[in-house]
Amino acid sequence: MTAQITPPLAFEIDGLVKTFPVAITMLQRVRREPKRAVKALNGVSLQVAQGETLGIVGESGCGKSTLARCLVRLHEPDSGHIRYRGDDVLDLSGEGLRTYHRKVQMVFQDPYASLNPRMSVGQVLREALLVHNMRPRDKVAERVAELLDLVGLPVDAAERMPHEFSGGQRQRIGIARALALEPETLVADELVSALDVSVQAQVINLLLELQSRLNLTVLFVAHDLRLVRHISHRVAVMYLGSVVEVAETEELFRDPRHPYTKALLSAAPTIDPDQKTETTALTGELPSPLHVPSGCPFHPRCPVAIERCSRDVPLLLPRADGRLHACHLEEPVVS
Partner 1 sequence: MTSAEPLLSIRNLNTTFHTNRGPLHAVRNVNFDLQPGEVLGIVGESGSGKSVTLRSILRLFQPPTQVRGEIFWKGEDVLKASRRRMLQVTGAEISMIFQEPMTALNPVLTVGSQILESLNAHEGLRGAAAVTRATELLELVGIPSPRERLAAYPHEFSGGMRQRAMIAIALASSPQLLLADEPTTALDVTIQDQILKLILSLREKLNMSVILVTHDLGVIAQTCDRVAVMYAGKLVELAPVRNLFTEPKHAYTVGLRLSLPEGGDSRQPLQPIPGSPPDVTNLPRGCAFAPRCAYVTDACREAEPELVQTSEGHLTACIHHAKLPVFGDGKA
Least distance between partner 1 and beta carbon 167 (Å): 8
Is 215 one of the binding residues for partner 1 (CB under 8 A)? no
Is 50 one of the binding residues for partner 1 (CB under 8 A)? no
3-state DSSP call for residue 313?
coil
Taking CA atoms, 166 is separated from 66, 170, 196, in Å, by 27, 6, 10
Is 23 one of the binding residues for partner 1 (CB under 8 A)? no
- Exposed/middle/buried for 154, CB within 10 Å: 0-12, 13-18, 19+? exposed
**Alpha helices, H only, the chain:** 26-30, 64-71, 94-103, 121-131, 140-150, 167-179, 197-214, 225-231, 249-254, 259-267
Is 65 one of the binding residues for partner 1 (CB under 8 A)? no
Residue count, binding to partner 1 (CB under 8 A): 49
**How large is the C-alpha radius of gyration of the chain?**
21
64 or 328: whose CB is closer to partner 1? 64
Nearest-angstrom CA–CA distance, 206 and 211: 8
141 or 199: whose CB is closer to partner 1? 199
Is 197 one of the binding residues for partner 1 (CB under 8 A)? yes
- Residue 193 has a CB neighbour count (10 Å cut-off) of 14
Is 169 one of the binding residues for partner 1 (CB under 8 A)? yes
Q: Which of 98, 280, 294, 311 binds partner 1 (CB under 8 A)?
A: 280
C-alpha torsion 39→240→301→252, nearest 10: -160
All residues at 6 or more sequence positions from 80 whose CB lies less than 8 Å from its CB, including other chains: 13, 14, 15, 16, 17, 41, 43, 44
Q: Which of 95, 285, 307, 331 binds partner 1 (CB under 8 A)?
A: 285
Interface stretch with partner 1, choices 35-43, 213-221, 228-236, 303-311 (CB under 8 A): 228-236
Is 286 one of the binding residues for partner 1 (CB under 8 A)? yes
Q: Are strands 324-325 and 317-318 parallel, antiparallel or unpaired?
A: antiparallel
Residues β-bridged to residue 47: 12
Is 229 one of the binding residues for partner 1 (CB under 8 A)? yes
Residue 218: name the closest of 125, 80, 106, 87 by CA. Answer: 106
Least distance between partner 1 and beta carbon 255 (Å): 13
Q: Which of 5, 72, 199, 313 binds partner 1 (CB under 8 A)?
A: 199
Q: Which of 72, 80, 253, 313 binds partner 1 (CB under 8 A)?
A: 253
82 or 221: whose CB is closer to partner 1? 221
Interface stretch with partner 1, choices 35-43, 127-135, 273-281, 325-333 (CB under 8 A): 273-281
Q: Which of 246, 247, 264, 296 binds partner 1 (CB under 8 A)?
A: 264
141 or 282: whose CB is closer to partner 1? 282
Is 223 one of the binding residues for partner 1 (CB under 8 A)? yes
DSSP string, 105-159: EEE-S-TTTSS-TTS-HHHHHHHHHHHTT-S-GGGHHHHHHHHHHHTT--GGGGG
Nearest-angstrom CA–CA distance, 290 and 32: 18
Is 316 one of the binding residues for partner 1 (CB under 8 A)? no
Residues of this chain that bind partner 1 (CB under 8 A): 53, 59-60, 166-169, 196-202, 204-205, 208-209, 223, 225-227, 229-233, 249-250, 253, 263-264, 267-274, 276-277, 279-283, 285-286
